[in-house]
Amino acid sequence: MPSGLILAFDTATPVATSALVLDGEVIGERASRAAAVLADADELLRASGFAPADLGGIAVGTGPGSFTGIRIGLAATRGLALALGTPVAGVSTLDALASALPGGLPVIDARRREVFTLRDGEPVALRPTELELEPGTLLVGDGAIRYRPELEAAGAQIPPDRDPVHVPHARLHAALARDFADADLVEPIYIRLPDAERAAA
């Protein structure tokens, strides 16, 4: 893992997050939309007095989540990495979300009445009713919020809607990032075809 300054962001969910982390300490954060992630990164660097060339690494969320959002995040990452010669590490959005609440199961709204979650450590897309929940299972993420009534009826415990644990904050990606390497080696996590390709098929 490179030492020093890490820029991290995740654009897989409706709330895109970015963070600037110096030697493990968060020195700035932003939350906006995927299309604004480069502007957010620039603001974070300017506010902290750093320049893009000072970055030691970039950590990016790889999904699963919005196909378009993930594409935007990876494109921004590859553009920065190419321009700066900065190594990159991909971090699963589900893993980052789970790390905010020890023992919590991440549940991201996947649309189509489905959620993205982890089953036996692997990302999957399921209907909320297909989640295998033990009574008292902690759930985090916008999918848990959207399907709160049926999930709580199944025995899940879900923090209040406005609790920050439901957002995959980029500082979590920075903390989990390992194996920094060439940006082209970072692969997105796509569990199913995007809507456009599905319609064409």
CA dist 18 and 93 (Å) reads 13
Domain assignment present for 199: no
Q: Is the pTM of this model over 0.85?
A: yes
Residues 18 and 77 in one domain: yes
Residues 105 and 141 in one domain: yes
Would you say residue 194 has pLDDT above 90? Answer: no
The pLDDT value recorded for residue 192 is 80
Residues 17 and 51 in one domain: yes
Residues 135 and 77 in one domain: no
Would you say residue 196 has pLDDT above 60? Answer: no
Residues 33 and 87 in one domain: yes
Residues 89 and 173 in one domain: yes
Domain assignment present for 87: yes
Would you say residue 200 has pLDDT above 50? Answer: no
Mean pLDDT for all residues in the chain: 93
Contacts of 183 (CB under 8 A, 6+ apart): 58, 77, 78, 81, 82, 87, 88
The pLDDT value recorded for residue 1 is 44
Mind spelling out the 3-state secondary structure of the chain?
A: CCCCEEEEEECCCCCEEEEEEECCEEEEEEEECHHHHHHHHHHHHHHHCCCHHHEEEEEEECCCCCHHHHHHHHHHHHHHHHHHCCCEEEECHHHHHHHCCCCCEEEEECCCCCEEEEECCEEEEECHHHCCCCCCCEEECHHHHHCHHHHHHCCCECCCCCCHHHCCCHHHHHHHCCCCECHHHCCCCCCCCCHHHHHHC
Residues 80 and 175 in one domain: yes
166-184 average pLDDT score = 96
Residues 27 and 49 in one domain: yes
Domain assignment present for 195: no
Residues 85 and 173 in one domain: yes
Domain assignment present for 187: no
- Lay out the sheet containing 122-126: strands in order across: 122-126, 115-119, 105-109, 139-140
| Tokens 């609440």 found at | 101
| 87-133 tens-digit pLDDT | 999 999 999 999 999 999 999 999 999 999 999 999 999 999 999 99
CA dist 77 and 87 (Å) reads 10
Domain assignment present for 132: yes
CA dist 107 and 87 (Å) reads 29
What range defines the domain where residue 52 resides? 5-93+169-182
CA dist 3 and 22 (Å) reads 8
Would you say residue 199 has pLDDT above 60? Answer: no
Domain assignment present for 174: yes
Domain assignment present for 200: no
CA dist 53 and 5 (Å) reads 10
- Residue 201: pLDDT band (50, 70, 90) is very low
The pLDDT value recorded for residue 33 is 96
CATH of the domain at 147: 3.30.420.40
Residues 84 and 105 in one domain: no
Residues 79 and 25 in one domain: yes
Q: Into how many domains does the chain fold?
A: 2
| 122-165 tens-digit pLDDT | 999 999 999 999 999 999 999 999 999 999 999 999 999 999 99
46-73 average pLDDT score = 96
- How many residues does this entry show for the chain? 201
